[in-house]
Every structure is written in structure tokens, then in C-alpha cells.
Amino acid sequence: MIQAATFIGAAMGIALSTYLRLESGMAMALALFCLLLTWTVVEGTPAARRTWASRERRNEASATFWRRIGTKLVGLAALLGVVVIACSVFPFFTHSSAVRWIIEAGHTTIPISIALAGATILYVAVTDLIAEEPDDYLNQVGRAVLMQDFREEDVLFALRLLAIKCFFLVLMFSGGMAALSDLADKPAWAFPPLSAAWFEGLLRLAFLLDMVLATGGYIATFKLFGWHVRATETTALGWLVCLICYEPFFPAISHAFVPYGEGPGWETVIREGSAVFILWSVATLFFTIIYVWATVAFGPRFSNLTHRGIITSGPYRFMKHPAYVSKNIAWWLVAIPGFLASGLAEGLARAGMLAIVSLIYVMRARAEERMLSRDPAYRDYAERVAAQGLLAMAKRRLTSTAPRV
């Protein structure tokens, strides 16, 4: 149910923003609004109702409750202040199209900001009422700001979470804006079916859908709906192998050595319109769709470097890392013809660089498994996939068909 709602919400937002011909920032905002609204109606509201009905009433004075709410709002304001400072100081944020759009649209968003402030106070109060343990990290940040006793581990958790949300929200929102501009300029349906431009348009559309879904996931960390972050990555290696895959880190490293993505594309190496070209293009598109399906399976719980619940549906029924596997296969399919056409030395150098990228994703998968394995639910899931997943099924099939001597 939530997978269908996720796809429909994102697709509806993209289609509506394209139909209205909005500029890229407003188009991305509208697509996200449609997605978040769909998530809230389909999964969020029923979850909040169940949680409210089963809450345990606490025997505490009203003054104590409101004092804690005030402390949490102080903590939230402090975290937002850190975001404003970061977005005003670091070039990654100040040069991003997302931050520039927010600044330029600031004069038109004052009524929205006022409404959000009221909704935030209501949300914090309601979430506190239903929480089993209301003394959460937000309360601890507020206590730290007010120079009261606080738990250091909760404040560090809040800062890690803030860094993750701030970095990836700006990155994904900016990427979504660029993808929406490309969709407006070069839609897939404007090109002849099965042509190189048509396939490239479909790939851009798939990655646009992925960008919208990922951005929505970083916004939708609502504890009221059960979408909150349970834990974050704490090791330097875990952060390194994740962040190195994204701007501004990966382009700088790639261009400093061998930019594997440069050179002739597969559509210039394989004759356009040939059977091999169509099969190669369909295979690339197929694995890209599997990658996007993995993002759809996350729904509102998508995020990097965090634990927000164990996903066992969609392609995750068959393997633990379908997004990484399918993404890397698609990259190799796109790149191999160019490697072959670049000559032996340069082709091997480019292939070696892409092999390093794939190795980084292996390390990234291992780091995620280490973090998630603290949860017994993930260990059970991993055992189930090992016994019943795609590799286990293939192994049983090969064993059953192997000749006996």
C-alpha cells in the first residue's frame, strides 16, 4: 500500500509541476508537497491515531509539561540557528541552487513560515503527549542551551542528525531542481521511441523520481508517524564511504585521478536502433528502475547514515542491498562501451576507477550492516535473506540442476 502511494504521490507531484510549467524551485516544492501529503494521508494519519489511542496517560503537572515543551522549542530553535549559520557560511550551501532559491523566495514565504511555526508548536506538544519517554534528544539540546544538566550522547545524536538532514536535503533538493529543468527542456516523450535520446530521457525521469523520493524522506522524519530516526552512523569509516559518493567530494576525487564517466557514451559506440543497442539500453533502464524501486520501498523512511526501521518489502525481499547492486550494474552498462572505445590504456584506467567506486559501495554496504546489526530485527532479516533471498534461490537452482557423477 505505502509503495503504491509513494510512487503515485511523487509521480503526481512531478506531473502537476510539469503541467503548470513552474520554475524549478517551485516545481520541486510542489512535487514534495504532493508526496508528503500522500504519505501523511495513507500511512501517517492512521499511525498517529493508533499511537494516540494506545498512549499511556502520564500523571504530571501541567506546568511540568509546558516547561518541557518550552525547553524542546528552545532546542529546536538552536538547531535551526545552526542550520542558518551553516547555510550562510559554507560554500557548499551558499552556492547551492536550493539555498539560493529559498533566499530569493523568502519574501513570499513569510505567511507559510508563520503557519509552520504554529504547526511546529502543536506537533511538538502532541508528540510529547504520546511519547513513551518524552525526555528525548530535543529536550536535551534545549537543556544544554539553557545551561542545565544534559545527556551528552543525546546532544551528539542531534548534531549528527542535523548534519545528515542539512547536507542531504540541500543536495537532493538541488539535484531535483536540476532534474526538473532537464525534464522541462528535454522530456523523453519529445523524442522518437527507442532512440538514444528517448532512453536517456527515461533515465533522467527515473533519477528525478528518485531525487523527489529521497528529498521527501529527509523531510519526513516525524516521530508522531513512526518515521523518526532510531540511530545514526557513529564511525568515521561509515561516514567516509557514504559521503565520498556524493558532491562535492566525489567529483573532486574523480577529476583528480581518472574521470571514468567521460569519453564516448554507449549510444555512440553501439549503432543506434540496432538489436544490441535496444537490448543494452533496455537492460540499463531495467536496472535503473530496480534502483528507483528500492527507494520507493523505503517510502518516508529513506535516509543515509541512519536507522529508521528495517525495510523488508519490495526488492529488499530478495537481497539486502538492491539499490547499490542495481545502481552499479547500470553504471557499468553505461560505461563499458566507452571503455572499449577509449583504447586499451585509457579504457583500463577508466574501468579501474569505476571498480574503485563499486568497491566503495561494497564498503558502504558493510558499514550499514554493522550499524543496523545492533537491531535484532535486522539480524533476523539478514538471516531470512541469506536463506530465502535471490542468491539462495539461485544456489538451490544450480545445485538441483548440476549433473550427478
- Whole-structure pTM value: 0.92
The CA–CA distances, whole Å, from 224 to 14, 129, 130, 213 equal: 27, 10, 8, 20
Considering Cα of 2, then 212, then 254, then 261, what sign does the dihedral take? positive
Condensed to tens digits (0 to 9), the pLDDT of residues 41-87 reads 999 999 999 988 988 888 888 999 999 999 999 999 999 999 999 99
Residue 249 burial (C-beta neighbours within 10 Å; 0-12, 13-18, 19+)? middle
Question: For position 251, what pLDDT does the model report?
Answer: 81
Write out the chain in H/E/C secondary structure: CHHHHHHHHHHHHHHHHHHHCCCHHHHHHHHHHHHHHHHHHHHHHHHHHHHHHCCCCCCCCHHHHHHHHHHHHHHHHHHHHHHHHHHHHCHHHHCCHHHHHHHHCHHHCHHHHHHHHHHHHHHHHHHHHHCCCCCCHHHHHHHHHCCCCCCHHHHHHHHHHHHHHHHHHHHHHHHHHHHHHHHHHCCHHHCCCCCHHHHHHHHHHHHHHHHHHHHHHHHCCCHHHCCCCCEECCCHHHHHHHHCCCCCHHHHHHHHCCCCCCCCCHHHHCCCCCHHHHHHHHHHHHHHHHHHHHHHHHHHHCCCCEECCCCCCHHHHCCCCHHHHHHHHHHHHHHHHHHHHCCHHHHHHHHHHHHHHHHHHHHHHHHHHHHHCCCHHHHHHHHHHHHHCHHHHHHHHHHHHCCCC
Architecture of the domain delimited by 229-391: Up-down Bundle (1.20)
Q: Which of the residues in the chain have pLDDT under 70?
A: 106-109, 256-267, 401-405
Q: How far apart are CA 66 and CA 59, in angstroms?
A: 14
If one counts every other C-beta atom within 10 angstroms of the C-beta of residue 210, the result is 25
Condensed to tens digits (0 to 9), the pLDDT of residues 122-151 reads 999 999 999 888 999 999 999 999 999 999
Contact 283, 351 (CB under 8 A): no
Q: How far apart are CA 222 and CA 157, in angstroms?
A: 16
Question: For position 262, what pLDDT does the model report?
Answer: 67
Question: For position 177, what pLDDT does the model report?
Answer: 95
Considering Cα of 253, then 371, then 1, then 390, what sign does the dihedral take? positive
